[in-house]
Homo-oligomer: A and B are copies of this chain.
Amino acid sequence: MAQSDTVDRILDAAEELFAERGFAETSLRMITSKANVNLAAVNYHFGSKKALIHAVFARFLTPFSSTLEAAFDDLEKKCQGNPPTLNQTLWVLTESAIRMPQRNEKGISIFMRLLGLAYTQSQGHLRKFLEQEYGQPFSRFMRLLKEATPELSAVDRYWRIQFMLGATAFTMSSSDALIDILENKLGVQASVQEIAARLVPFLAEGMKAPDKLQVPPSLAGTTVA
Protein backbone atom coordinates (compact mmCIF):
# COMPACT_ATOMS: atom_id res chain seq x y z
CA MET A 1 0.00 0.00 0.00
CA ALA A 2 2.61 2.56 -0.97
CA GLN A 3 3.47 4.86 1.89
CA SER A 4 1.02 4.83 4.70
CA ASP A 5 -2.38 4.04 3.43
CA THR A 6 -3.18 4.50 7.12
CA VAL A 7 -3.00 8.26 6.83
CA ASP A 8 -5.66 8.33 4.11
CA ARG A 9 -7.91 5.91 5.94
CA ILE A 10 -7.75 8.13 8.99
CA LEU A 11 -8.48 11.24 6.93
CA ASP A 12 -11.41 9.56 5.20
CA ALA A 13 -12.96 8.39 8.43
CA ALA A 14 -12.32 11.65 10.23
CA GLU A 15 -13.76 13.72 7.42
CA GLU A 16 -16.97 11.75 7.38
CA LEU A 17 -17.39 11.61 11.15
CA PHE A 18 -16.54 15.26 11.66
CA ALA A 19 -19.05 16.22 9.01
CA GLU A 20 -21.89 14.26 10.53
CA ARG A 21 -21.16 14.77 14.22
CA GLY A 22 -19.00 17.85 14.66
CA PHE A 23 -15.49 17.99 16.06
CA ALA A 24 -15.95 17.80 19.81
CA GLU A 25 -18.53 15.04 19.52
CA THR A 26 -16.22 12.86 17.44
CA SER A 27 -13.61 10.99 19.46
CA LEU A 28 -10.35 9.65 18.15
CA ARG A 29 -11.54 6.19 19.09
CA MET A 30 -14.53 6.51 16.77
CA ILE A 31 -12.26 7.63 13.98
CA THR A 32 -9.66 4.93 14.43
CA SER A 33 -12.16 2.13 14.73
CA LYS A 34 -14.04 3.30 11.64
CA ALA A 35 -10.72 3.46 9.81
CA ASN A 36 -9.62 0.06 11.17
CA VAL A 37 -6.50 1.62 12.50
CA ASN A 38 -4.80 1.65 15.85
CA LEU A 39 -5.68 4.46 18.22
CA ALA A 40 -2.11 5.65 18.52
CA ALA A 41 -1.82 6.08 14.77
CA VAL A 42 -3.53 9.46 14.86
CA ASN A 43 -1.07 10.97 17.28
CA TYR A 44 1.79 9.28 15.48
CA HIS A 45 0.93 10.58 12.02
CA PHE A 46 -0.68 13.92 12.86
CA GLY A 47 0.54 14.78 16.33
CA SER A 48 -2.77 15.78 17.88
CA LYS A 49 -6.48 15.92 17.27
CA LYS A 50 -6.28 19.61 16.35
CA ALA A 51 -3.66 18.85 13.75
CA LEU A 52 -5.90 16.10 12.38
CA ILE A 53 -8.71 18.62 11.96
CA HIS A 54 -6.37 20.97 10.11
CA ALA A 55 -5.22 18.13 7.87
CA VAL A 56 -8.80 17.22 6.99
CA PHE A 57 -9.46 20.79 5.89
CA ALA A 58 -6.16 21.15 4.09
CA ARG A 59 -6.77 18.04 2.01
CA PHE A 60 -9.68 19.56 0.14
CA LEU A 61 -9.15 23.26 0.74
CA THR A 62 -5.71 23.43 -0.81
CA PRO A 63 -6.68 22.09 -4.23
CA PHE A 64 -9.94 24.01 -4.08
CA SER A 65 -8.07 27.19 -3.35
CA SER A 66 -5.90 26.70 -6.44
CA THR A 67 -8.88 25.86 -8.64
CA LEU A 68 -10.71 28.92 -7.44
CA GLU A 69 -7.80 31.27 -8.02
CA ALA A 70 -7.40 29.92 -11.54
CA ALA A 71 -11.12 30.33 -12.19
CA PHE A 72 -10.98 33.92 -10.97
CA ASP A 73 -8.01 34.53 -13.24
CA ASP A 74 -9.96 33.19 -16.22
CA LEU A 75 -12.98 35.26 -15.34
CA GLU A 76 -11.07 38.49 -15.01
CA LYS A 77 -9.18 37.83 -18.20
CA LYS A 78 -12.41 37.15 -20.07
CA CYS A 79 -13.87 40.41 -18.79
CA GLN A 80 -10.73 42.30 -19.80
CA GLY A 81 -10.84 45.20 -17.42
CA ASN A 82 -14.56 45.34 -16.78
CA PRO A 83 -15.49 43.98 -13.37
CA PRO A 84 -17.28 40.60 -13.54
CA THR A 85 -20.98 40.70 -12.76
CA LEU A 86 -22.47 39.41 -9.54
CA ASN A 87 -23.93 36.37 -11.25
CA GLN A 88 -20.66 35.55 -12.92
CA THR A 89 -18.76 35.81 -9.67
CA LEU A 90 -21.20 33.64 -7.78
CA TRP A 91 -21.26 31.07 -10.56
CA VAL A 92 -17.51 30.83 -10.71
CA LEU A 93 -17.40 30.09 -7.01
CA THR A 94 -20.21 27.55 -7.26
CA GLU A 95 -18.73 25.91 -10.32
CA SER A 96 -15.33 25.59 -8.70
CA ALA A 97 -16.88 23.90 -5.72
CA ILE A 98 -18.94 21.51 -7.80
CA ARG A 99 -16.12 20.63 -10.15
CA MET A 100 -13.76 19.59 -7.41
CA PRO A 101 -12.56 16.01 -7.74
CA GLN A 102 -14.70 14.06 -5.32
CA ARG A 103 -13.76 10.96 -3.41
CA ASN A 104 -17.33 9.73 -3.41
CA GLU A 105 -20.85 10.87 -4.24
CA LYS A 106 -21.18 12.70 -0.94
CA GLY A 107 -18.02 14.65 -1.57
CA ILE A 108 -19.51 18.09 -1.94
CA SER A 109 -21.98 17.88 0.87
CA ILE A 110 -19.25 16.79 3.28
CA PHE A 111 -17.08 19.59 1.96
CA MET A 112 -19.84 22.12 2.60
CA ARG A 113 -20.81 20.74 5.93
CA LEU A 114 -17.25 20.99 7.16
CA LEU A 115 -17.05 24.59 6.03
CA GLY A 116 -20.27 25.30 7.85
CA LEU A 117 -18.97 23.69 10.99
CA ALA A 118 -15.76 25.68 10.74
CA TYR A 119 -17.83 28.82 10.83
CA THR A 120 -20.25 27.60 13.45
CA GLN A 121 -18.29 25.66 16.04
CA SER A 122 -16.16 28.23 17.76
CA GLN A 123 -12.92 26.14 17.63
CA GLY A 124 -10.60 29.13 17.76
CA HIS A 125 -7.62 27.28 16.38
CA LEU A 126 -9.48 26.28 13.24
CA ARG A 127 -10.53 29.80 12.34
CA LYS A 128 -6.97 31.04 12.76
CA PHE A 129 -5.66 28.20 10.65
CA LEU A 130 -8.15 28.79 7.83
CA GLU A 131 -7.69 32.55 7.92
CA GLN A 132 -3.95 32.58 7.52
CA GLU A 133 -3.88 29.62 5.15
CA TYR A 134 -6.72 30.47 2.80
CA GLY A 135 -7.40 34.14 3.51
CA GLN A 136 -6.18 35.24 0.11
CA PRO A 137 -8.79 33.70 -2.22
CA PHE A 138 -11.43 34.75 0.28
CA SER A 139 -10.30 38.37 0.14
CA ARG A 140 -10.26 38.20 -3.62
CA PHE A 141 -13.84 36.94 -3.69
CA MET A 142 -14.83 39.83 -1.44
CA ARG A 143 -13.17 42.31 -3.75
CA LEU A 144 -15.00 40.88 -6.76
CA LEU A 145 -18.28 41.13 -4.89
CA LYS A 146 -17.57 44.74 -4.11
CA GLU A 147 -16.81 45.59 -7.72
CA ALA A 148 -19.92 43.74 -8.88
CA THR A 149 -22.23 45.75 -6.62
CA PRO A 150 -21.01 49.33 -6.81
CA GLU A 151 -24.51 50.65 -6.23
CA LEU A 152 -24.62 49.27 -2.68
CA SER A 153 -23.39 51.19 0.30
CA ALA A 154 -20.57 49.52 2.18
CA VAL A 155 -22.90 48.78 5.07
CA ASP A 156 -25.59 47.27 2.89
CA ARG A 157 -23.03 45.16 1.09
CA TYR A 158 -21.54 44.00 4.38
CA TRP A 159 -24.79 42.70 5.74
CA ARG A 160 -25.93 41.16 2.51
CA ILE A 161 -22.70 39.25 2.17
CA GLN A 162 -23.37 37.83 5.61
CA PHE A 163 -26.85 36.84 4.51
CA MET A 164 -25.44 35.07 1.46
CA LEU A 165 -22.84 33.27 3.52
CA GLY A 166 -25.51 32.18 5.93
CA ALA A 167 -27.92 30.86 3.36
CA THR A 168 -25.12 28.97 1.64
CA ALA A 169 -23.33 27.55 4.65
CA PHE A 170 -26.52 26.60 6.40
CA THR A 171 -28.19 24.92 3.45
CA MET A 172 -25.15 23.20 2.09
CA SER A 173 -24.03 21.99 5.46
CA SER A 174 -27.30 20.11 5.86
CA SER A 175 -27.74 19.26 2.22
CA ASP A 176 -27.91 15.52 2.80
CA ALA A 177 -30.65 15.78 5.38
CA LEU A 178 -32.54 18.38 3.36
CA ILE A 179 -32.42 16.25 0.23
CA ASP A 180 -33.78 13.30 2.19
CA ILE A 181 -36.59 15.36 3.70
CA LEU A 182 -37.53 16.69 0.29
CA GLU A 183 -37.75 13.19 -1.11
CA ASN A 184 -39.90 11.99 1.77
CA LYS A 185 -42.23 14.97 1.58
CA LEU A 186 -42.61 15.60 -2.12
CA GLY A 187 -41.13 12.49 -3.68
CA VAL A 188 -38.61 14.60 -5.56
CA GLN A 189 -34.98 13.71 -5.95
CA ALA A 190 -32.32 16.39 -5.82
CA SER A 191 -28.58 16.80 -6.00
CA VAL A 192 -26.08 19.21 -4.56
CA GLN A 193 -25.65 20.65 -8.04
CA GLU A 194 -29.32 21.41 -8.22
CA ILE A 195 -29.31 23.10 -4.84
CA ALA A 196 -26.49 25.30 -6.03
CA ALA A 197 -28.41 26.13 -9.19
CA ARG A 198 -31.36 27.25 -7.08
CA LEU A 199 -29.26 29.05 -4.54
CA VAL A 200 -27.40 31.37 -6.88
CA PRO A 201 -30.47 33.19 -8.26
CA PHE A 202 -31.87 33.52 -4.76
CA LEU A 203 -28.66 35.13 -3.54
CA ALA A 204 -28.28 37.36 -6.57
CA GLU A 205 -31.83 38.71 -6.25
CA GLY A 206 -31.47 39.30 -2.53
CA MET A 207 -28.22 41.10 -3.15
CA LYS A 208 -29.92 43.45 -5.60
CA ALA A 209 -32.92 44.21 -3.40
CA PRO A 210 -33.91 47.86 -2.97
CA ASP A 211 -31.85 49.24 -0.15
CA LYS A 212 -34.61 51.12 1.62
CA LEU A 213 -35.71 49.66 4.91
CA GLN A 214 -39.44 49.49 4.53
CA VAL A 215 -40.29 49.53 8.23
CA PRO A 216 -43.96 48.61 8.55
CA PRO A 217 -46.32 50.84 10.54
CA SER A 218 -46.50 48.34 13.38
CA LEU A 219 -42.80 48.77 14.07
CA ALA A 220 -42.50 52.47 13.28
CA GLY A 221 -42.68 53.58 16.89
CA THR A 222 -40.18 51.12 18.28
CA THR A 223 -36.49 51.36 18.85
CA VAL A 224 -35.15 50.83 15.37
CA ALA A 225 -31.84 52.59 15.78
Contacts and interface: CB of A to CB of B under 8 A. Distances in A.
A94 B121 CA distance: 25
B24 A190 contact: no
Interface residues of A, number: 71
B166 A214 contact: no
Interface stretch (A36-44, A57-65, A217-225): A217-225
Interface stretch (A3-11, A128-136, A194-202): A194-202
Nearest to A225: B191
Interface string A117-157: 10111100000000000000000000000000000001110
Given A170-B166, A186-B154, A223-B191, A160 B198 contact: yes
A69 interface: no
A194 B225 contact: yes
A135 to B, nearest CB: 14
Contact of A24 (B24, B98, B116): B24
18 contacts: A21-B122, A22-B121, A25-B122, A116-B120, A117-B120, A120-B173, A155-B182, A158-B182, A158-B186, A159-B182, A159-B195, A159-B202, A163-B171, A163-B199, A190-B225, A193-B224, A204-B209, A205-B205
